[in-house]
Amino acid sequence: MIIYSGKKINVRKDEIILDDGRAVMREVIEHPGSAAIIPFISVNEIILIQQYRHAVRETIYEIPAGTLDKGETFDACAGRELEEEIGYRAGILEPLIILYPSPGILSETMHLFKATNLIKTQTNYQMDESIKGVVQIKLSDAVEMVKKGVIRDAKTVCSILLCLK
């Protein structure tokens, strides 16, 4: 049963039967899916954004990412978000992994990509975004930021660690 229907998500309440026969309720956030991109400006340097995230009430470091538009492919979403958020187009867009960001409550699949051979264009921030800055950083420095807890966004942590050689 849908208990909330929004612009990007729905929330539903399901009654399920566990293996031992018990009936329990689960709340599920339905999400259309998303793409996230770790952009390499050079062989050893990446671009991160600093963005305010209301759910955690912090400005955090993260890679460009966004929700699929209706009928859009994950590759197209990745390309669009990269250009919107940091003002670059990917010369090469390489799939890394498909994740479930929070499978206990969320149906979302997130496709992670690595972008290289970047071509400068211009940003096109969406009205509901709060991007505070774009930062160019060595991958090794980003790893240290992960270890120190400065970068805590899961998609960003995962992408940084997947790109280590």
Cα 73 from Cα 5, distance rounded (Å): 23
44 and 116 in a single domain? The answer is yes
22 and 39 in a single domain? The answer is no
Q: Comparing C-alpha atoms, which of 45, 53, 60 is closest to residue 128?
A: 53
The confidence score (pLDDT) of residue 91 equals: 97
Whether residue 129 lies in the annotated active site? yes
- Which is catalytic among the residues 30, 45, 108, 129? 129
Q: Quick one: what percent of the chain has pLDDT higher than 90? A: 92
17 and 54 in a single domain? The answer is no
37 and 99 in a single domain? The answer is yes
Phi/psi of residue 49, nearest 5 degrees? -110, 155
134 and 148 in a single domain? The answer is yes
Cα 105 from Cα 11, distance rounded (Å): 10
Query: What is the extent of the structural domain holding 9?
Result: 1-30
24 and 66 in a single domain? The answer is no
Domain count, the chain: 2
Mean pLDDT score of the chain, rounded to an integer? 95
13 and 37 in a single domain? The answer is no
Residue 69 pLDDT greater than 80, yes or no: yes
Total-model pTM: 0.92
Residue 159 pLDDT greater than 80, yes or no: yes
